[in-house]
Amino acid sequence: SDVNGNLNDPTTLPDSDGDLGSGGDVDYRDTVTLGDNDGDGISDNIDLDDDNDGILDVQESNLTLNCIEYEFYDLVPSGYTVDNIPTTGALATGTTTSFDVDALQNLVDPGDTNTFSIRYRGAIVINTSETYTFYTSSDDGSKLYIDGIEVVDNDGLHGNVEQSQTITLSAGVHAIEVLFFENGGAETLTVQYSTPTISKTPIPFGVIGCAVAINSDGDSVSNHLDLDSDGDGIPDNIEAQTTNGYIAPNAVYNSAGIDTAYPNGLIPVNTDGTDSPDYLDLDSDNEGNNDTTEAGLTLNGVLGVNGLDSAVYTTTNYSDVNGNINNPNTLPDSDSDLATTGDVDFRDSSNDVSIGTGNILWLRGDIDLTGSTITSWLDQSSSGVISTINGNPTSTNTLNFNKVATFDGSGDYLVTNLSINSSSYPDLTVYAVYTPSINSSGAVWGEDDSNWDRFFGDLSTGGINDMVSTGTGASNNIPSVFTANTPVISTVLFDEDVSNGSFVYANGERVRTFSSNHGPEFSNNFHVGSIGRNAYHFNGDIAEIIVFAELPTPIQQQKIESYLALKYGITLDNTNNSGAIIEGDYVLSNSVTKVWDYTANSSYHNDVAG
């Protein structure tokens, strides 16, 4: 007849950490019941940062700030309504002029059978060290604590008379608590402060009922207890700070439970200046790519009780708030501009990819290719190579929506002032993305004369010239991808060392090997669109040319070819050229993260595009 016996309401069961209304539960259903969620030695009812991420709880919850001057009743007098949780009849009064209160939380302590007590909790942020006088007034008694130290004791024996105390506070965040005792009803509590230059002013507080726990990523952990509030894998402590200005936590906490590396708490960064701050934003730079991918993360979808993914956390508690991401500047920065004008990828809306050292020429159709009839094509490497435009090459957005330079096969070509010879550049690597319009001879690049020292082009045979006039040691494995109207990524490695040889790759597949000494033997300037002012003009589109004065490792070559393949929608070949990598993988600039895993998708490695 009584299915619950004397357990008629689950909310009456023990809730040691008092978090039933703010993201937690009663103890038997709560994974954290210690009363000190983050284990920093500061109990949750005092701790202003319950997860140690540096972002104060008030920032991670929805809190309305009001000034204290409310009526609280243990017995409701006739004709009155209960204002224990402020209603429209309990309005704020007064303003502050010397500090802002930005971290508040409230806890109701039931007291004994004769006393209804309210404890207001919060923080005051002091901008400059100064002397403050704090006041309280209440008929039945109140106490004011700063940083856990009793400052004002109004014992309730003075009637509604103010009691005050003067203290000096240093700049920073100070925990503040007010304990208010109410026995008779129809009583008020007022808490104020003043300085030598400021008259008495009510202190703005949050009050019970204003704080609402928020769970932005929809997992089982509310933001103020979640070390990754948006679920993108990047810890809140990282996302709340700028990349170059990042300060690591030091795991030493003040009396308010705030890491002393951030004595005022962190004001979260909002990189894109729109929508939410980064720690709640899945696209922090607002350029269309999600932060998880741009940070080079592959998440497991298994969360610790601290809200971090198991791919990131080192422990499921709060002793390591960043897991294995200890500094934001270790995250991918594809264009290597963090130290200059840019940022790491997840915060960089203009991701001008920089691929490595030794880059001596970089022509990109999507950057600084000017005019529908091309008037200039600026070098993106640090060399500052200058090109002279000849003929009337044009530009259109035709290759996977990227702009290309179109050459007419007769008078269109570029002459650069980059002079390449074997003494200056004993090793050379040239990447090129192009689409021939017809199957006829023509050089995508070469040197500025009509000699056959080196060039790469599209020939009527369907592919690659012998590279040197003698062609000694060249194999004749010409793939079918070298056909009209088919885009291709070509990679040519010139190695002056006879033992290593020189190689030609098409879409990641090695298609030609030179076993003898075939280092770069240019004696004139680098040329685009022909190998001489009037010889072997290229007919088709050229999207990108990258020249390095060094040879790549297999993984370096793979990540560059991945960049080009994703950008231009070209499928990388899975032929095994090197045991050091898995051919067919597409890897990001950190050389680790796979955006296309060939092993996992080997049955479907056809027409892979980005």
The encoded tokens of residue 545 equal 């040319």
Q: Taking residues 418-433, report their average pLDDT.
A: 80
For the stretch 23-74, pLDDT in tens is 567 878 876 544 678 888 887 766 778 899 999 887 787 544 333 333 332 3
Residues 488, 508: Cα–Cα separation, whole Å:
10
* Lowest-confidence pick of 321-330, 381-390, 532-541, 577-586: 532-541
Percent of the chain with pLDDT strictly greater than 90:
30
Q: Which is more confident, 514 or 287?
A: 287
* Closest by Cα among 234, 266, 252, 197 to 56: 266
For the stretch 453-471, pLDDT in tens is 334 443 333 333 433 322 2
In this predicted structure, what is the pLDDT of residue 227? 96
Residues 269, 254: Cα–Cα separation, whole Å:
23
In this predicted structure, what is the pLDDT of residue 532? 66
Q: Taking residues 205-234, report their average pLDDT.
A: 76
Residues 68, 176: Cα–Cα separation, whole Å:
13
Residues 184, 116: Cα–Cα separation, whole Å:
10
Residues 446, 522: Cα–Cα separation, whole Å:
8
Residues 487, 268: Cα–Cα separation, whole Å:
45
Q: Which is more confident, 500 or 562?
A: 562
State the Cα torsion 446-452-454-455 to the nearest 10°.
50
For the stretch 515-542, pLDDT in tens is 554 444 555 788 898 876 667 788 899 9
In this predicted structure, what is the pLDDT of residue 42? 81
pTM: 0.46
Q: 60: Cβ–Cβ under 8 A, 6 or more apart, which residues?
A: 214, 222, 223, 224, 226, 229
Q: 176: Cβ–Cβ under 8 A, 6 or more apart, which residues?
A: 121, 122, 123, 124, 144, 145, 146, 203
For the stretch 275-308, pLDDT in tens is 889 999 999 998 878 899 889 898 999 999 899 9
Q: How far is CA 15 from CA 29, 68, 213, 387, 476, in A?
A: 9, 27, 16, 73, 77
The residue written with tokens 């701790």 in the block is 47
Instruction: Please classify residue 251 by burial: count the beta carbons closer than 10 Å to its beta carbon, then call 0-12 exposed, 13-18 middle and 19+ buried.
Output: middle
The residue written with tokens 């690049």 in the block is 445
Averaged pLDDT of the chain: 74
Q: 157: Cβ–Cβ under 8 A, 6 or more apart, which residues?
A: none
Q: Taking residues 307-322, report their average pLDDT.
A: 94
* Closest by Cα among 469, 456, 470 to 506: 456
In this predicted structure, what is the pLDDT of residue 90? 27
- pLDDT of 228 over the 90 cut: yes
Q: Which is more confident, 79 or 260?
A: 260
- pLDDT of 409 over the 50 cut: yes
In this predicted structure, what is the pLDDT of residue 16? 64
Q: Tell me the three-class secondary structure of 74-121, residue by residue.
A: CCCCCCCCCCCCCCCCCCCCCCCCCEECCCCEEEEECCCCCCEEEEEE
Residues 64, 534: Cα–Cα separation, whole Å:
75
- pLDDT of 407 over the 90 cut: yes
In this predicted structure, what is the pLDDT of residue 440? 62
Q: 1: Cβ–Cβ under 8 A, 6 or more apart, which residues?
A: none
Kind and range of the H or E run holding 59: helix 57-60
The residue written with tokens 């409310």 in the block is 70
Highest mean pLDDT among 46-55, 200-209, 476-485: 46-55
Q: How many beta carbons lie within 10 A of that of residue 189, not counting itself? A: 25
Q: Which is more confident, 589 or 385?
A: 385
Q: Taking residues 120-137, report their average pLDDT.
A: 71
The encoded tokens of residue 95 equal 């303003």
Evaluate whether 233 touches 81 at the Cβ level (below 8 Å).
Answer: no
**Is residue 384 very low, low, confident or very high in pLDDT (cuts 50, 70, 90)?**
confident
Q: Taking residues 433-438, report their average pLDDT.
A: 86
- pLDDT of 472 over the 50 cut: no
For the stretch 248-277, pLDDT in tens is 999 999 877 889 999 878 889 999 988 889
Q: Taking residues 93-115, report their average pLDDT.
A: 26
* C-alpha R_g of the chain: 34
**Is residue 318 very low, low, confident or very high in pLDDT (cuts 50, 70, 90)?**
very high
Residues 30, 23: Cα–Cα separation, whole Å:
10
* Closest by Cα among 421, 484, 481, 408 to 449: 421
74-80 — which CB contacts under 8 Å span 24+ positions?
74/115, 74/116, 74/182, 74/183, 74/185, 75/184, 75/185, 76/185, 77/185, 77/186, 80/186
* Closest by Cα among 91, 101, 131, 278 to 205: 101
